[in-house]
Structure 1
Amino acid sequence: MEMSKQLGKTFNLFSLLAYAAPTMALMVFMSIYTMVDGIFIARYVSATALSAVNIFFPIYGLIIAIALMLGTGANAIIAKKIGENNANEAKENFTFIVICGAVLGLAIMVFGLLLMKPILLLLGAGATEELFEFTSTYARIILYTSPFMILQMLFQNFFVTAGKPNLGLAITIAGGVANIVLDYIFIVLLQMGIAGAGIATAIGIFIPAVFGLIYFFKNKKSGLHFVKPKVDANVFFNSCINGSSEMVSNLASSIVTFAFNLLMIKHLGVDGVAAVTIMLYVMFILSSLFMGYSAGVAPIISYNYGSQNTAQLKRIFNYSLLIIVTGSVTMYGVSTMFGAYFIQLMASEESAVYHIAVDGMSIFSICYLFMGFNIFTSMLFTAFSNGKVSAAISFLRTLVFVLTALLVLPATIGVTGIWLAIPLAEILSVFVCIFFLTANRKKYYLV
C-alpha cells in the first residue's frame, strides 16, 4: 500500500525534512495569508478594524481548536491502524470523524449567530461603538463558514496520512491565494471595508474544504477515502482525548488573546490591541515552522510506533531534536533582526502602534528560543496516542503559565510584564517537557 511505503521507509535527516516540508510550507503559507489579511485591514480600513479582528480571534481560535482536536487526534489513531494493517477500519473511522466535524461546525454556526452580541461584549468589543460595529460585521461572516473551517483543517491533516502532503499544500495555497486576491478586490477596489476582508477569508476557507470533500469522495484508489461510516463513539471520544493537547493549545491561545486584549485596552487603549495583534501575527508566522514540522512527522512517528520499528523511532527523534534546536536559534535571530520590518507592513513608523510593537518585540522574541522544543514534545506524545501527557504539556504551557504571568507581571512592572508573559511560560514549559520525556523515554523507545 502506498501509505505504508511512504510512512514506513527509512528516513535520514534530509528525507525527513523533505517529507515534513509540505506541511511546514502549508503552515507558513496559512500564517502569511492571515497576516496579509491584517495588512489590508490595517492599511486600507483602520487600526480599529485590525483590533476588531483580534477581538474576534478567541471565537475563531475556538473553531480551529475543535478542528485540530479532531484532526490530530483521529490522525494518530488512523495512522496507527494503517501501521497495524487495519486499513478498512481506518477508512471507516476517517469517514465518521469527517461527519462529526461537519456536525460540530453547524452547531457552532447556529449558537454563535444566536449569541453573537453578548459574546462580543464579553470579549471587549464594546470598548467603543466603532469597534463593536467592526467586530460584529466580521464575526457574522466568519461564523457562517464554521463547518467549512473544520472540514478544511481535518482534510489538511488527513492528506498527510493519505500520503498526499503536496496535494494538501496545493489546495491550501489555492485558498490562500484566492483570499489575498479577493482582499485586494473587495477592500481596495470595491472599498467594502472589514466586510470585504471577512468575505475574502470565507471564500479562502470554502475552496480547500470543498476540494477535500470531492477528492475523498471520488478518489477510490487513494489509501484513504470515504466509505460507509461505522458509528463508533469510542473513536470520537478517543480522538478528542488524543487531540486534546492541540485543542488546549489553541483554546488557550484564544483565552490568552482575550487576556492580552483586556490588558492592552486598560494600559494603552485600542492602539495597544492593534500592537499586540501585529505581534501575534509575527508569532504565527515564525512558530508555524515548528507546528508544520511537528505535524508533518507525526504520522511517521505514529506509524512506526504501531509497527514497533524502534530503530526508526530513535532516529526520527534525534533528527527532530537537531532540526528543532537549529530552527529555534534561527527564528530568534530572524525576529530580532527583521521584526521591525514585519511591523512596518501594518503600521507606519510615525504611529503609536508601531512604537508600542517595536518596544514589545525586543522582549517577546525570547520565546522563539524555547517554543519549538515545547511544540514538538507535545505533538510527539500525541503521535504516541498519549493525549493525557500531551494535553498536560499544552495546558501548562499555553494557559496556566501564561495567565499566571499576565496576572502577576503587569501589576508589578506594567506593559513590560505583558510582553514577558509568553517568554516566561515557554522557559517554564521546557522543564515540564524534559520531565515527561525522561519519564517515558523507555516506553516509547527514545533511548
Structure 2
Amino acid sequence: MAKVSSEQLGSEPIGRLLVKQAVPASIGILVMSLNILIDSIFVGNWIGSIAIAAINVVLPVSFFIGALGMAIGVGGSSIISRALGDHNKEKALKTFGNQITLTLLVTITMVVFGLMFIETLIPAFGGKGTIYDPAKTYYTIVLYGVPFLALCMMGNTVVRAEGKPKFAMIAMIIPSVGNLLMDYIFIYVFDWGMAGAAWATTIGYFLCFAYIFYFFLSSDSEMKIGWHHLRLNGILVKEIGALGFVTLARQAVVSITYLIMNNILFNLGGEPMVAVYAIIGRMLMFALFPVFGVTQGFLPIAGFNYGAKKYQRVRESINTAIKYAAFMATMVFVGLMLFPEAITSLFLSDRISMSTHELETKAFVLKNAPNAMRWVFAATPIIALQLIGAAYFQAIGKAIPALLLTLSRQGFFFIPLVLILPNFLGELGVWLSFPISDLLATLVTGYFLRREVNRELKIEPSI
C-alpha cells in the first residue's frame, strides 16, 4: 500500500499533501458517519422512532468515555508530530507508550462509574417516559465496549501522526462495516431489538481495536515501543493532558449540549421533539464529514512543519486547509437546504403496522425536522475557519488558546443562547441558537488566528 511517511510531511507540496491526508480521513469519517446514519435508519425502521431517541440519549455518555481516548490520542499525537519533525524519535515512542497506559487507566475507571450510576445518568440525559427502558438496554451493553472504542480513537490519531492516513481510514471503515452487518443479523434476522443494536455497536468497536493492534505490531508502523515506554512520565503526562483536555472539553460540551437539548426539547414537545433532534444530531455528525476530514488531514501537517520550523509551509497549510474546508462546507450547505424533507424521511419507518403513538411521532417528525434542519445548518459555509483555526493551536501545542477557541462555539455561545432564546421564541429559539453561535465563534477564531499567524509565523529561519 502506497503511504505517506512522516518525513514527507515536511517536503511534499502542501496542496497535494493535504489531499493525501484529507481524502482518506474524509472517507473514514464518511464511512463512520454513514455507519451512525444507517444504524439509525435500521433502528428506526426495524425497531421504531422511540428507539432512535433512546440511542440519542445514550450517545453523550458513551461518546464522552470514548472521547477520553480521543483526547489522549490527539494530545499525544500533537507531541508525536512535532517530535518527528524535530527528529526526536525516542520522545515520540515514550509519548505513545504513555498514551496507551493513560487510555486504559482512565476509560476503565469511567466505565465502572458509568455502570454504578446508570439509574441517575439515563434520566438526566433525557431518558424519560417510554425512552427509558430501551435506553437502559442499549447503554448497559455498549458501555462494556467503550474502552475498545477509546483505544481505537487514541491509536487512530497516532497513525495519522505517523503520516499514514490510509491505514487510519481502514481503521474507521472496519468497525462501521462490521456494525452494519451485525445490525442486519442481530436486529432483522434474530429480532433482538435494542440489545441487538447494542451488541452490533460493541462488536464494531472490538473489530476496530483488533485492526489498530495489528497495525502497530506490523512493519508499517514506526511506533515500535517497549515495556519501558508504558511507564508514565510526569512531564509527558502533563503535556498530553493539557493538549488532550482541549478535545476532552469539546466532547464534554457536546455531551452537556445533548443533555440540555434533550431536556429542553422534551419539555417543549415530548418524545417526538427529542426524535427530531436525534435526526438532526445524526446529520451534524454525518453531513460535515469532508470538513472534519480536512481538519484531521491538516493537524499532522501543521504540527510536523511547526516542529521542523518550516513556518512558510505552516502558513500555506492553514490557508489551503481553510479553502478546501470552506468549499466542502458550502456543498454540504446546498444539499441540506434543498433536500431536508427527503433526508428526514430516510429515518422513518414505512411499516404498515404501527401503533397510534408511533404514527403520531412519525407525523410530528416529518412536519418539524426539515425546517429545523435548515436553521441548524444555516451558517455551515463559514465554519471552516473556526474548525481549522482552533485545530491550528492544538497542532502547535498551545493548549490554552486551543481550548478557548474550541469551546467558543458550543460552550461560550451555543449553551447560553439555547438556555435563553427558547424562553422568548420557543422551539425556533432552539434552532436559531445554532447559526448564531457558528457566526460568533467564527468571528472570534478568525481574529485570534490572524493575530497568531502575524506574530509567530513571520520568518522561516534558514537551515
Q: Shorter-chain TM-score: which interval?
A: over 0.9
Say if 2:264 is the partner of 1:252.
no
Q: Is the 8 A contact 2:24 2:169 kept in 1?
A: yes
Aligned to 2:134: 134
The letter for the 1-side match of 2:138 is Y
Residues 291 and 326 in structure 2, CA contact (< 8 A), matched pair in contact too: no
Deviation for aligned residue 1:305: 0.3
Distance 1:16 1:443 in 2: 24
Task: Decide whether the 8 Å contact of 2:67 with 2:150 is kept in 1.
Answer: no
Is 1:226 the counterpart of 2:238? The answer is no
Contact kept, 8 Å, 2:27 with 2:169, in 1: the verdict is: yes
Structure 1 counterpart of 2:379, from 344, 354, 367:
367
Secondary structure of the residue that 1:226 maps to in structure 2?
coil
Structure-2 change in CA distance of 1:343 and 1:446 (3 Å): farther
CA distance in 2, matches of 1:396, 1:291: 17
Which sections of structure 2, spanning at least 5 residues, go unmatched?
351-361
Q: What code does the residue aligned with 1:54 have?
A: N
Residue 274 of structure 2 aligns with which residue?
273
2:451 equivalent in structure 1:
439
Alpha-carbon contact 1:4-1:82 (below 8 Å) kept: yes
Using the TM superposition, give the Cα deviation of residue 159 of structure 1 relative to its aligned residue in structure 2, in angstroms.
1.2
In structure 1, the residue corresponding to 2:265 is in which secondary structure?
A: helix
- Give the 5 Å matches for 1:23-38: 23-38=25-40
Q: Residue type matched to 1:227 in 2?
A: G
Are residue 170 (structure 1) and residue 170 (structure 2) matched? yes
| 5+ residue gaps, structure 1 | none
Instruction: State the partner residue of 2:81.
Output: 79
Q: 2:94 aligns with which of 92, 95, 110?
A: 92
- The one-letter code matched in structure 1 to 2:168 is G
Q: How many residues align?
A: 444
Aligned to 2:355: none
Paired residue secondary structure (1:441): helix
Q: Which residue of structure 2 aligns with residue 354 of structure 1? A: 366
- Counterparts of 1:39-438 in structure 2 under 5 Å? 39-125=41-127, 127-128=128-129, 130-216=130-216, 218-219=217-218, 222-228=221-227, 229=229, 230-347=231-348, 351-438=363-450
**Alignment check: 8 A CA contact 2:48 2:349 kept:** no
Moved over 3 A (4+): 1-4
- Is the 1:103–1:147 contact (alpha carbons within 8 Å) kept by the matching residues of 2? no
Cα deviations by residue, 1:95-151 (Å, 9 ceiling, x for unpaired) = 1211210221211111111111111122221x21x3111111000011101210110
What is the alpha-carbon distance in structure 2 between the residues aligned to residue 356 and residue 227 of structure 1? Answer: 56
- Residues 175 and 204 of structure 2 are in contact (CA less than 8 Å); yes or no, is this contact kept in structure 1? yes
Q: Could you report, residue by residue, the CA deviation over 1:293-350 in whole angstroms, capped at 9, with x for unpaired residues?
A: 1111211111100111122112212211211221222121111113322211112696
Deviates more, 1:302-311 or 1:314-323: 314-323
Say whether the 8 Å CA contact 1:305–1:313 is kept in structure 2: yes
Q: Partner letter of residue 379 of structure 1?
A: A
Structure 2 vs 1, CA of residues 348 and 239 (structure 1 numbering), >3 Å: closer, same or farther? Answer: same
Q: Distance in 1 between matches of 2:115 and 2:22?
A: 38
Output the TM-score relative to the length of structure 1: 0.95
User: Which letter does structure 2 place at the counterpart of 1:274?
Assistant: A
Distance 2:377 2:296 in 1: 23
State the distance in 1 between where 2:343 and 2:20 align.
27
Task: Kindly state the Cα deviation for residue 221 of structure 1 after the two structures are TM-superposed.
Answer: 6.0
8 Å contact kept, 1:80–1:305: yes
Distance 1:425 1:12, change over 3 A: same
Q: Could you tell me which of 3, 6, 9 is aligned with 1:4?
A: 6
Q: Go from structure 1 to structure 2 and tell me whether the alpha carbon gap of 1:446 and 1:105 turns closer, same or farther (over 3 Å shift).
A: farther
Q: Which SS does the other structure have where 1:243 is aligned?
A: helix
Q: Is the 8 A contact 2:4 2:165 kept in 1?
A: no
Between the aligned partners of 1:299 and 1:389, the Cα distance in structure 2 is 18
CA contact (8 A) 1:106 1:147 kept: yes
CA contact (8 A) 1:287 1:372 kept: no
